[in-house]
Structure 1
């Protein structure tokens, strides 16, 4: 077990790796369906969200850091892009309630560790890696502000 990987992300990774390829795609679809809706504040102000340009689909993220240095991630991706939505959902759920330090310690190549590289295009994996990179950059910006 990787000691820099938070428990939720470790569990998600294990869930994917224990499945066959077809079932991994099904699990990704399930994550896609579980992407939480944006809170009204962000839904009404999409300008607060940052587009992840590396993703083929329009993916937008916003990171909030509270006074206790706990991270909350918001993301939106279109329902017709289930792979991208699934990746966003994995990050939203896997990073929920973590501290700034825990999120920044997540390995940058975490998306490649899910065992989906045989199932989805390298471009999609790069998109999820870009999402994680944007999340970390937003956290560093918020902490520095």
Structure 2
């Protein structure tokens, strides 16, 4: 059984991938995630004012959420803007996108806030940087709560 069995399923596989690696390789995997951050759709790329900043991050990152439906069963969609020269921040955003985009609002809201500390990155990334990922998750949850009518 996975050592991350208590994590939400969407994060457990990602955490297992990080925990299977040593420190230097964990940083490499985070870099690979940063390269996989989906581009913003035109409706946000052309209107960056629609994105919310995440001041907890050391690098400039902005995010937006959309909800298909209402209530906890609605589908959550996540969008991030982070500069290429901020690979750690982009990597965090990409992890959140992979783990949470397309999930139900209820699943996202039920994601423990501590999940960002359970990915095995504390050994290779500063607590201040991990705080940025927590800030992203908090904003995602708040936006989804409001947009899903909860």
TM over 0.5: yes
Instruction: State TM-score, norm by structure 2.
Output: 0.92
Q: Does the residue aligned with 1:78 lie in a helix, a strand or coil? A: coil
Aligned counterpart, 1:50: 52
CA distance in 1, matches of 2:140, 2:101: 12
CA distance in 2, matches of 1:80, 1:135: 23
CA distance in 2, matches of 1:100, 1:133: 13
CA distance in 2, matches of 1:117, 1:8: 20
Which runs of no fewer than 5 residues in structure 1 stay unpaired? none
Which runs of no fewer than 5 residues in structure 2 stay unpaired? none
CA distance in 1, matches of 2:39, 2:118: 26
- 1:10: Cα distance to partner? 1.2
- The equivalent position to 1:116 in structure 2, one of 121, 128, 135, is 121
- 1:43: Cα distance to partner? 0.3
User: Pairwise mapping of residues 23-38 of structure 1 onto structure 2 (< 5 A)?
Assistant: 23-38=25-40
Q: Does the residue aligned with 1:64 lie in a helix, a strand or coil? A: strand
Aligned counterpart, 2:12: 10
Aligned counterpart, 1:104: 109
4+ residue runs over 3 A deviation: none
CA distance in 1, matches of 2:141, 2:48: 20
Q: Does 1:59 align with 2:56?
A: no
Root mean square deviation, CA, Å: 1.2
Aligned counterpart, 1:125: 130
CA distance in 2, matches of 1:121, 1:42: 30
**Number of residue pairs the alignment of both structures matches:** 143
Q: Does the residue aligned with 2:141 lie in a helix, a strand or coil? A: helix
Q: Does the residue aligned with 1:110 lie in a helix, a strand or coil? A: helix
- 1:134: Cα distance to partner? 0.5
